[in-house]
Structure 1
Amino acid sequence: MRHGDCRRGRDAPGGTPAPERTDPWTVAVPAQKPLARADRLLKARRYAEVLSLLESQVFLYRDSAAFYRILGTACLYTGDYGGAHSYLQRAEQLGPGNTSVQLGLAAVSLRRREVPTALRLLLEILDREPGNQHARRALAMIRRTEDPSEFVTMAESGALRRVFPPIGYALPRWVPMAVAVTLLAAAAIVFIPPIVRDALSRRPQRTGAEAIARTDLPATLTASSDHARYTLTDAEVARTLDRIGEYFNSFRDNLARREANRLLLSNAGPLVKERVRLVSSYFRVPTFADFSDNFSFADVEREPWLYEGTHVRWSGQTTNISLGDDAVRFTLLVGYQDQRVLDGTVNVTVPFAADVQPGAVELIGRVNATDAGFSLTATSIRRIVVRSQ
């Protein structure tokens, strides 16, 4: 996804220096409108649109700390820690001491396993704002974490988001009208017949969710099996079915597939497994724009069959590139994109036309489990630029 690549246009171009401003957090009046719109988009969690709007405006806003804060925060929330680091660093240089910027840089530092840097930033925040709960939460996370490499796993799983800088919420222009409509609906609800009211109150389900419902399944959900990898009780099978349904209706297909695999590899009964296979046919292939619920290399390496068919979003260096008639194949050095820490290696097949060159890449790949380990089939891939430190 081109707009999601936060590395494009990262450095401010050269040219005639702009007139000095007394406050780097403000911009000239004619330039305020795009920044205000970008800030609203950020608060609305429309990160790709923020990047699309601002990436081409680096020259105009080269001296605006607010510009780099918004752009860096959007990168942070899309999972591009490299882009977030570059933009937020620039914001800190232009306007030192901004709490939001320093919280973002602290999160990036944890992802980079630079704990002393994160501690320095957090303590600076607490010196100014002793009651800042985000900084205190980040310090508590650091105290609980013995191995800095755990922060990498937290970043991949989304757990590190708990210490991201808050971005607030945008109040859409239609909210007042929506409030009025809601009040009218609440006033009218007493006149709606109960059967209609019950139908309206039911949570809408995603197409395919009916396949996982337990309403017409037998009371006994397990069966004897000599080849089950997981031995579950009836209650555990029921809870796992419920989790699959919850994940599926929330469009968290990666987690739903992992739990589906757990049942398929267990002593669950034939009818349960049939239902699980049916709902699995509705799972979607994620993209860089909507990917969620990542799994670490260590997770997949530990139990490849449990993660069969799930998707992972990993970065690393390419090596052993082989161009075939129907695919490109290479070995990914996972986590080694900055040539510091190697999480592991995995063979990758790219079954579509892609210009794969030696260097750092980020990909989304489907896990293919084997008795010898696992490999990946790429569904999306893009080059990334890792800045030297």
Structure 2
Amino acid sequence: MLAPIRGFAAHSGGVTTSTPPGISRATLSNPADLIASLPYLLGFRPDDSLVLLGHRVPGTTIGLMLRADLPPRELQAQQADALIPRFADHEHNGVTAVLVGGSADENGPPHREFAAELERGLARHNLRLFHALWTAEIEPGAPWSCYRDPDCRGVLPDPQETVIAAATTEAGFVVFRSREELAAVLEPRSPEAIARRADLLASCPEPLCSPGMSHSDVLDAAVGELRDAFLRQRRGAGPPDDDQAVRLAHALTFNPVRDACLALAVPPHTSLTREAEEVWLTLVRELPPPHRAEAALHLGYTALMRGEGALAGMALANAVEADPAHVVAQLLQAAWNIGTDPAKLTGLADLSTAVDLGLSPPPEPGSGGEAGPGQRSGPPRGMR
């Protein structure tokens, strides 16, 4: 799993985060803080994992974050050879590696051969291994240590008390207990409903069209369906029924609507952007393939703009799985996979052809209006 990190910049005396808009900068003063902060950088707690943080040049700003399952011993060299070339570009000069899982013994932390293999592989690509760290698990009091210095060790602080936790929580991010728990958020709410809607769309692929309607009329109907979906979200009306779902599936297929939906992701960290992410998540769970691909594309793009690499990767993979021929989803997944800076993707939507969805920001909490996303008691957006 490759994901852009919620930015780091390392300096003497600590590691300073350079996070997306809406999240305060913070300084991590030691390896324990760095390890304990990983769940808030990934969006979930990694276990039995290798996490590589790529350092950009000039300086030691972190570029890419790469997480992978720990391999069996016979596949360690193969995994190193597969992962390290991702950092072999003009932007990176090395990585910090964190290995999560296993138990230390009298000789030091486990996975020593793998750490050595990573260092050899990096050297072949003229990359440095800045730090090699290990922890048994990312929990308060868990042991951690360095591979190079036996005196570099200790126990982890409570991850919830790190400066990164405070910054990301203030910005509305939620951490899942595992990657599997995060992935489960994208699963269909009701497989039976998905099957019914697939049948309805097969028998009537253009449910917004009626005899005598012009293309403009149909486009207006599509815009109305999207607007109604947002209003239902604000009222907390729950998932769409079958008729609403199939009309929304058709509405999302119009290119001007797609451009308007993509435009909702920029700028990130607005109340409307968060609300849109809720709508896209709902539709990912409510629409059958291939129609689900459009909602998953919007969810992935919105998450990517907000710096949520793990969710972005899962959503874009969901989109390509739903519709392998979806060109925009393929291109965006490829950009994510090589760690493209989200700032370079802000112009993805063609605003010259986008329609006006007529959406105003949701009311602020306590304003007396309809409930906005900031008023939920459950996890915001369901997937940070």
TM range (shorter): under 0.3
TM (norm. structure 2) is 0.28
Higher relative contact order (CA 8 A, sep 6+): 2
TM (norm. structure 1) is 0.27
Bigger-Rg structure (1/2): 1
